[in-house]
């Protein structure tokens, strides 16, 4: 009976990356330079594992951008609704101040939240500049809660732009997803078709050299495969980002 089993092809991208990181750490505890077959296989596996980790980090960064975009969209909506509400108050001073601010908001429109990231960022930056003019600040001061709402939007915008620096707008998330999925498939196939069989054989032929590492690898693979099974039983939503 084989010591090491095949890695489940249903493993997520992130789980696969974590699994191979642990396996490579286990291999690194011994010197395999004398094994002319295993050495190049490990070098190739390490390169693919690193590439997979990079692709996953990009996907996570993009996912974080989407979450932060939702935050700033909420702040934009709150600002529009709050100011619009003040335009209906039958108190001349407050209504006039609200109309002055709302005229600026209407120049951009609430539709800016549906623009692409780069265009929305540019429009929000421009909007915040317009709202910082001296006469507008006087009007804002007359409307309770508006100053705080603008401040919250400013923070949300800065937080988004920090993430945007990490994940360039021109980078295709679909390309990263395809790259991660392809690398996961390749690294698992290489292990299942070659490395697994080799380590199982050598653990029998030269147990003093290979058996300890083979057992560690076997435990890691079993733990990963069990995780896949548990997700299926609980119908946990699958995600390639985690």
Domain extent listing, the chain: 12-186
Residue for token pair 């010197």: 31
Q: Quick one: pLDDT at residue 242?
A: 44
- Number of neighbouring beta carbons within 10 Å of residue 25: 11
pLDDT (mean) for 127-134: 96
Q: Among 110, 100, 98, 109, which residue's Cα sits nearest to residue 146?
A: 98
- pLDDT tens for each residue of 69-90: 999 999 999 999 999 999 999 9
pLDDT (mean) for 92-110: 96
Q: Quick one: pLDDT at residue 231?
A: 84
Q: Quick one: pLDDT at residue 197?
A: 94
Return d(Cα 194, Cα 45) in angstroms, integer: 11
Whether the pLDDT of residue 174 is over 80: the answer is no
Residue for token pair 């939702």: 70
pTM > 0.95: yes or no:
no
């Amino acid at each position: 009976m084989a010591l090491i089993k095949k890695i489940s092809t249903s493993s997520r991208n992130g789980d696969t990356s974590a699994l191979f990181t642990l396996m490579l750490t286990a291999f690194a505890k011994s010197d395999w330079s004398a094994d002319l077959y295993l050495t190049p296989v490990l070098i190739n596996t390490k390169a693919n594992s690193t590439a997979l980790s990079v692709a996953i980090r990009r996907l996570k960064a993009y996912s974080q951008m989407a979450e932060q975009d939702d935050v700033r969209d909420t702040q934009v909506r709150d600002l529009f609704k709050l100011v619009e509400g003040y335009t209906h108050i039958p108190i001349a001073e407050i209504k006039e101040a609200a109309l002055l601010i709302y005229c600026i908001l209407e120049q951009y429109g609430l539709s800016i939240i549906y623009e692409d990231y780069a265009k929305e960022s540019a429009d929000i930056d421009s909007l915040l500049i317009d709202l910082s003019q001296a006469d507008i600040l006087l009007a804002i001061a007359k409307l309770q809660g508006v100053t705080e709402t603008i401040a919250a939007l400013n923070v949300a915008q800065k937080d988004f732009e920090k993430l945007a620096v990490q994940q360039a707008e021109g980078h295709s998330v679909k390309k990263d997803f395809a790259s991660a999925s392809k690398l996961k498939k390749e690294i698992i196939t290489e292990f299942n078709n070659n490395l697994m069989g080799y380590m199982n054989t050598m653990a029998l032929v030269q147990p003093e050299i290979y058996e300890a590492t083979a057992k560690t690898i076997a435990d890691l693979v079993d733990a990963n495969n069990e995780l896949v099974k548990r997700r299926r039983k609980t119908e946990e939503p699958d995600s390639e980002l985690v």
